[in-house]
Amino acid sequence: RMKSQVEHIKAGTLSRDVKRGYGGIREIEFFIQIFQLIYGGKELLLRERSTFKALHRLLQKGLIGYEDLGQLSDNYVFLRTLEHRLQQLNDIQTHTLPSGDVELEILGKKMGISARQGFLSELGKRRHRVREIYDSLMESGKQPSHGQAYGLLSSVFWDMETPVEHLLSRELESKKVKDAGKAIHCLTKIRNNIYSFQTIKGRRLLEDIIPKFANEALKGTNPDLALLHLVDFSGILAAKESYLEVISQRPEIISVLNFIFSQSEYLSKILMGNPEYIESLAEGETAKKSLTSFTNELRLLAERRGVSTAVRLFRRLEEIRLGIMFLNGKINATELMKSLSKTAGAVLSTLLQRPEETLTYSPSLIIIGFGKLGGREIIFNSDLDIIFTTLREPSGDDIKAAEGLLRGCMSYTKDGIAYTIDTRLRPEGSKGPLVSSIEALRNYYSMHAQTWELQALLKARPVCNFKFRISNLKFMEMRKEILIKRGVRITLDDIKKMRERIRKELSKEISGSYDIKLGSGGLEELEFIVQYLQLKNCKNNPLLLVQGTMDAIKRLAISGVLKNDDAAVISGTYLFYRNIETIMRLRNESLLKEGSDTMRSAAGFMNMDEVELLDSLNEKREWIKNFLNDLA
């Protein structure tokens, strides 16, 4: 009799009966009673007549989620109150809404809603939500979820909540899992997360999606790392139904996510921060974009989401897109760095063009990129080294614009920061003025700049606000003049002393680990060699004054400063170091440790085994050290 009544309700429409009709009081009561009938025999706690107490006890037993409890309790109160107001209206026992507009208007006011249409709209939303929860119970009870029927989370490998360890260990070892014990611990947490649901609909989706994730994780190159990330991700899926809906609609995303989980802590953390990042995985890949394309895409995103949100989303969306392409071998390290540098340039341009209400006119500010940004060599999680300059003496509005850009970039929001900005390369460092004129820069670099500041100036270039083309040209002319004038005075001894000081004070290299950037014979030593040769020879050949290391090596070879064979070794070593450094950044590692997952990943990425990678690394480091020592 109950089943036929339930089926009758399910087949109905949004009737005027708020008790027996679609999404009405009876559906909430039947929802509770179904659980009581199924589980009440063993669970005495569920034998409760009160609707509210029964709902709380279903929550206590893990049979419904917090969101279901809140929705059902709130809507039950609303519908019961409406039932009482109906009976008060004509002093008769009824559950049916009046058909007349006037009566509905009065009823709406009694429910605290002034307009008739507003009342009907609110009632409709509530009834739809009750029906949605009710239907999710019916659907989850019809047929076991396919996801639970296979894989390591199936009942074959589990005795209720306890793992059958000998079976699991054997299966995991066959999948090339290195630490079966740790993997079983991860699988236990993942399995438990399926039941940490917020709604019954969410549990049904979890039961289908999570086993697919777990099985896909075991197919990758690093199943241990993929399972470790899946623990955190399954917890997010259990708490945020929006993620589940995205993945259920686009199941092809599962393999892409597992690929990232097995390769990169850095990208994995980004993806877990916002469902929009996951949605982006289903979009097509474009290998090369111009700076104009980056800027236009960001402008459109800013129109929809606002500048502050857009710049943060845009950076991370591009890092995800480019990171996947790099790991898949679709772009090389040089293409990756240039694209990440364009991303940073687009963000800075957008923030600089943002209107500031406090400004009396459009500022004539120029942003000069130094370091990796200036050299178009940005990698993942890089800071941006910039200074601000103007053609003439900076105004108060110029200073406000610079301060506004720094706030816009580094203010913490729910989406984090856009970039960390470092402006300490300006004249006199953090004690100096935030904005200087080009003439002030000329005076400083002519009279006071130290060797390392001239090396920094070698990387400098305007990175945005290209409408001020004259200002940009004036800066580049000043840069060229200073470097030609002072570059010839720099001695090799200056460079070696600076390099040795950095190695001793900043390198973290210890036995069994390698500091790719600051260690002996490392990336920075290579860059110091190239910069010294550029500065020493730029008076006779100003074309050597390019910002990028690879471009500089090519020009040094063309001009005869470097032998072709030496140039080939230096450029090959540079790309080798950059590949390793990028893999390390993606794994959130600062040192390359022997025998680590990161070393295995780097070796695999470059089609080597670990021994070959170490031999090649030591050989290249030794070559760079010898080249610097032999340099005249």
pLDDT of residue 362: 52
pLDDT of residue 247: 84
pLDDT of residue 115: 85
Q: Which domains does the chain have, with CATH numbers?
A: 2-142 (1.20.120.330), 147-280 (1.20.120), 333-486 (3.30.460.10), 492-630 (1.20.120.330)
From first CA to last CA, the distance across the chain in angstroms is 98
pLDDT tens, residue by residue, 481-514: 999 999 989 999 999 999 999 988 988 888 889 9
Please report the beta strands in 340-446, taking only residues with DSSP state E, as ranges in sequence order.
366-370, 384-390, 421-422, 435-437
d(CA 306, CA 311): 9
| Encoded amino acid at 369, one letter | G
pLDDT of residue 282: 67
- Helix, strand and coil percent figures for the chain, each rounded to 5: 65, 5, 30
Helix (H) or strand (E) holding 558: helix 549-558
| Encoded amino acid at 393, one letter | E
For residue 396, what are its two tokens?
């108060």
Mapping DSSP onto H, E and C, the string for 56-123 reads HHHHHCCCCCHHHHHHHHHHHHHHHHHHHHHHHHHCCCCCECCCCHHHHHHHHHHCCCCCHHHHHHHH
pLDDT of residue 425: 93
Can you name the residues that pair with 158 across neighbouring β-strands? 163
d(CA 430, CA 228): 42
Closest of 188, 5, 20, 199 to residue 94, by C-alpha: 20
Residue keyed to tokens 């270039």:
461
pLDDT of residue 144: 39
Which regions of the chain are under pLDDT 50?
1-13, 140-149, 356-361
pLDDT of residue 544: 96
For residue 65, what are its two tokens?
């989620």
Provide the 10 A C-beta neighbour count for residue 622: 12
- pTM, whole model, 2 decimals? 0.77
Tell me the CB-side half-sphere exposure of residue 213, using CA atoms within 13 A: 31
Strands 421-422 and 435-437: unpaired
pLDDT of residue 138: 62
Is residue 272 within 8 A of residue 236, CB to CB? The reply is yes
d(CA 607, CA 605): 6
Is residue 369 within 8 A of residue 342, CB to CB? The reply is no
d(CA 406, CA 430): 14
Closest of 205, 176, 206 to residue 191, by C-alpha: 206
